[in-house]
Amino acid sequence: MSDHPESSWRNGAGRRRRARWFAAPAIGVVVLALAACGSSTSSSSSSSAPATEAAASAPASAATEPTTLWVQSGNGGSDAVLKAYEEINAAFEAANPGVSIKFEVKGFTDLVDTLKLQLSGDDVPDVTQVNQGYGSLGQLVGAGLLTPLDDAATAQDWAGRQGESLLAVNGRFSPDGKTMGSGDLYAVADRGAWVGLFMNVAKAAELGIAGPPTTVDELVAQMETAKAGGVTPFMFGASDGGEQIWLMADLLMADTSPQVLTDVINGTSEQLPPEMLDVANTMQDWAEAGYFTEGWAALTSTDVLGMFAEGDGLFTLNGSWNVFQSDTPENFRLVPFPLGSASELAAIATGDLPWAVPSKAKNPDLAKKYIDFITGPEASSIWIKNGQVPASVSGNEAQEVEANGLVGVSADAILQWANLVTNGTTEPFPDWATPTWYDTIAKSSTALMAGEITPEQFVEALQADYGPFTAERKASS
């Protein structure tokens, strides 16, 4: 991300655009960021924050020879996240006498653009954040630049913390880097990120709507009610591309199943599923029905989220990294997008930039210990205290959310994440499927919803990008 209201970060298979900060003057909206992905600055320092009480009271192990653990983050510019890392790093140092952390911070673009070259050299960090997808993590794995983490994952039961599907989404690859979502584990996330439906429940009550929709049919009925009541049904902005990509994925899951979306992203087949045409028809129908914000094509998802936070509209679609604070937090909810039936639970839900150990790390065992710590229960408590979503689930999220006074969408971001990881299906961002799919979907879907192309032409455009890349990748694996 960047410090600007509209930001883009280069995924391994496209761009996932996220915004960190925006201001809605009427209520002083604050976005709690998950990642800092666009700053070009870089800094390095040892942790100096005081250790938490839990860390201070932890049994001290025998003194060891002083060791410096070089940790490289891609969160440059995200003050809230870096503040939490100060606390976590101090706690790790307190629990590991003799260890000091050299915490280097880079912007997302700087990290991703230089990481492969950096890890090919001899002077490499012990542990570093990486980017998911074929074009980033897959390349690092295929070049032999990362160490598998399966031994630590098994010993410390990381799957018990995050669920195997989330581990697979964020860090599993075949050793050649050609197959995503299976194979050895090369990276693990410490914070979660998911896309959901923001709802103004106060406005819903005024319209006679009892609560969030549990199926797409209920969602459509509620949008019709809002439209009839003079309320914009769906705050929608398409100029940055993200919202229509998320909507496409959610509608595909609702029309088929979460597994179908998983198969598309992983490239199980070279052909897109036939239901993609139904999705295209629905997206165009919703635009033609007037459900979306007036002038949606010229607005970003950040623009409309700010408008939504000020009280405009009934729904919007955005990420947990963009939760906001309001003078009336009880007026807003963040819930998973409804699927085909009320019993289904799935969402685009991944970790933020996951952590990996370079093959040439000087302290690989200590690096794995660090990853175990930052995804463990003590770190999770620190993340929640700082308003962040921990990737690992402890079962104590409700108590900790209450203890830290988190309410509204800030609370939902954490509690719904825990429910998704525990009881639902976590899905990758759909544009990870090819290096250029983000741009292809964004451009084609805008034309689709503007009535400039037909649903058939939309699917053809996506297939023309998806098919050749998938075939080439499978042929070379």
Residue 111 in any domain: the answer is: yes
Give the range of the structural domain holding residue 313, as residue numbers without chain letter.
195-349+428-476
Residues 47 and 104 in one domain: yes
Q: Tell which of 406, 423, 440 closes a domain.
A: 423
Structure token pair of residue 226? 């809002």
- Provide the number of structural domains found in the chain: 2
380, 408, 423 — which closes off a domain? 423
Tell me, yes or no, whether 181 and 217 share the same domain.
no
pLDDT at 12 > cutoff 70:
no
> What's the DSSP call for residue 301?
H
Across 11-15, 41-45, 65-69, least confident range: 11-15
Q: Residues 29, 170: one domain?
A: yes
Let me know if residue 178 belongs to a domain. Answer: yes
Q: Are residues 230 and 309 in the same domain?
A: yes
Q: How many angstroms separate the CA atoms of 298 and 281, rounded? A: 22
Q: Which pLDDT band, with edges at 50, 70 and 90, does 64 fall under?
A: low
* End-to-end CA, the chain: 32
Together in a domain, 327 and 406: no
Tens digit of each residue's pLDDT (9 = 90 or more) over 420-463 = 999 999 999 998 899 899 999 999 999 999 999 999 999 999 99
Residue 4 is assigned to a structural domain of this protein: no
How far apart, in Å, are the Cα atoms of 63 and each of 59, 98, 372?
A: 12, 6, 21
The H or E element spanning position 90 is helix 79-95
Q: Do 327 and 363 have their domain in common?
A: no
Per-residue confidence band for 56, with pLDDT thresholds at 50, 70 and 90: very low
Residue with tokens 């666009």: 38
- Do 258 and 163 belong together in one domain? no
Whether 244 maps to a domain, the answer reads yes
390 is a domain residue: yes
Whether the predicted pLDDT of 53 surpasses 80: no
> Among residues 387, 407, 423, which one ends one of the domains?
423
Q: Mean per-residue pLDDT for 311-340?
A: 93
Check whether residue 357 and residue 248 sit in a common domain.
no
pLDDT for the residue 475: 85
Q: How many CB atoms lie within 10 A of CB 394?
A: 15
Could you tell me which residue, 72 or 34, shows the higher pLDDT? Answer: 72
* 355 and 228 share one domain: no
Tell me, yes or no, whether 108 and 19 share the same domain. Answer: yes
The DSSP-derived string for 416-455 is: HHHHHHHHSEEE--GGGGSTTHHHHHHHHHHHHHTTSS-H
- CATH number, domain with residue 436: 3.40.190.10
Q: Is the pLDDT of residue 21 over 50?
A: no
- % of residues, the chain, pLDDT over 70: 86
pLDDT at residue 23 in the model = 30
Reference 420, options 347, 314, 324; nearest CA is 347
CA 195/CA 264 separation, integer angstroms: 18
Q: 271 and 236, same structural domain?
A: yes
For residue 1, tell me if it sits in a domain.
Answer: no
* pLDDT, tens only, 280-299: 999 999 999 999 999 999 99
2 in a domain, yes or no? no
Provide the residue count of the chain.
477
- Residue 417, domain member (yes or no): yes
Q: Could you tell me if 276 and 320 lie in one domain? A: yes
